[in-house]
Amino acid sequence: KTDSYQEYARRIQEYAQSSRLIREEVYWRSVEEQQAAELPYEMPLHENTDFSRRDSIRFSLSEADTAVLLQNVNHAYGTDTQDILLTAASLAICEWTGGSKLRIAMEGHGREHILPELDISRTVGWFTSMYPALISFENHRDELVTAVKTVKDTLGRIPNKGVGYGMLKYLTHPENKSITFSKTPDISFNYLGQFNDIERQDSFRPSSLGSGKDITHTWKREQIIEMSAMAADKKLHFNLSYPPALFHRNTMEQLINRIEHFLRDI
């Protein structure tokens, strides 16, 4: 076990060159090389397109519907909330693009136990892993049951919940890999989890004070459309962020309405 971040970083660097990680390359190459639907931009995409300006729209489920989503829906097929939310989003996106395959960037906390001998319990926060998921509905896009199973199975096949993708891309020596990593997804999805028990804690509670911007305006975003969801105050909140330089607001409103529609259907 280790008590230092430096030791953890050193071991992760070693793991990035190991044969255990290199074996994941076959999976990630398949995800990178397969063709997926492209976004139907409504304004031309140029190198100088301004992505710094973002608009956001959202919807929230009622307390009753949120309770069903979190407590009942997953019993049927052993899914989790992320499976259900991603299914609804994927169905709406494929309906919008007219395709049956979607490549989406998933965001996770990155605290996977890939090296059992390392103890990360003394480190606070998220390590954050970003990795692509290729969801293919093929001829079953209109069957909700099949769509839910497809998304669950797709996420279940991802090695180590995707944490190895970033290691291969950024840490593994070029001579040890054969992926070009050129297919960056245009859409990201992040389920932040449940925060419903915060109001019952005595020590910590949300602040009403403004925190300012949490992302610098100079950051060059990899994803054009960003989706996130979280359960708080006993309600599920779904947020969609997009650049108005590329899409009209009514188009994005139609997209998020379809996500909510599919979520309620499921």
- Grade residue 255 by pLDDT with cuts at 50, 70 and 90: very high
d(CA 236, CA 89): 14
> Considering the domain boundaries, does residue 188 fall inside one?
yes
Instruction: Provide the mean pLDDT of the chain.
Output: 87
Contact status, residue 255 vs residue 187, Cβ threshold 8 Å: no
| The model's pTM | 0.87
CATH of the domain at 13: 3.30.559.30
> Considering the domain boundaries, does residue 233 fall inside one?
yes
Please report, for residues 6, 27, 34, 71, 122, the alpha-carbon distance to residue 18 in angstroms, rounded to integers and kept in the order given: 19, 16, 26, 40, 25
Question: For the chain, how many structural domains are there in total?
Answer: 1
DSSP 8-state secondary structure symbol assigned to residue 244: T
Contact status, residue 158 vs residue 112, Cβ threshold 8 Å: no
> Considering the domain boundaries, does residue 69 fall inside one?
yes
> Considering the domain boundaries, does residue 138 fall inside one?
yes
Domain that holds residue 224: 5-196+220-265
> Considering the domain boundaries, does residue 204 fall inside one?
no
Phi-psi label, residue 160: left if phi above 0, alpha if psi -120 to 50, beta otherwise? left
Exposure on the CB side of residue 237, measured as CA atoms within 13 A: 13
* 148-197 tens-digit pLDDT: 999 999 999 999 889 889 888 988 888 888 888 888 899 999 999 888 66
> Considering the domain boundaries, does residue 10 fall inside one?
yes
| DSSP E strand boundaries for the chain | 55-60, 101-108, 129-136, 187-194, 225-232, 235-242
> Considering the domain boundaries, does residue 207 fall inside one?
no
> Considering the domain boundaries, does residue 186 fall inside one?
yes
